[in-house]
Chains A and B, each alone.
Chain A
Amino acid sequence: MNATIEPQRPWVYPQEGDDWQSIAAREFPGRTVEDAVADLQSWNLYLVFRPAPAMMTCSDIVFTGPPPT
């Protein structure tokens, strides 16, 4: 069976040097960065609350959509 498996939620990996703003601008080009960042952060609280000095890494998962209802 080779059909593509659809992810349960949309997500991306951060690119090196990314922050919330750069991910927002790339993933949501039709929206204001401010609004898109607010949504991104609400969908990724585990990254928002990650204690310093731990940072976002290229192996992290960043959800680009809300949890399934």
Chain B
Amino acid sequence: MSDDRLRRELRAAVSPAEMPPGLAERAFRAAMAAASAPFADRFVVTARRAALVGAIATALVWGGLFLRGAPAESGSASAQLDPAEEALAVWAGEEAPGGD
């Protein structure tokens, strides 16, 4: 079979590739989008870690404040109550003689 005939038969059997319009643009955009995907993945992992560390740190700070602050508060509360009670007692004591 001659080369010419082979060529004719091939051209009759297989169509030439016609590049779809806009393919270069789509390929470029796909490459850029795929390149930014790993960064996005890394960002999500980093953000999760940061959130976890932040939550633990906040819990520790509040826990520490609670543990340190509770006795002081209770101490001051008693300190504030005692004078009040004392004052009430004093008032009651003063009123009692006058009222009676």
A binds B: no
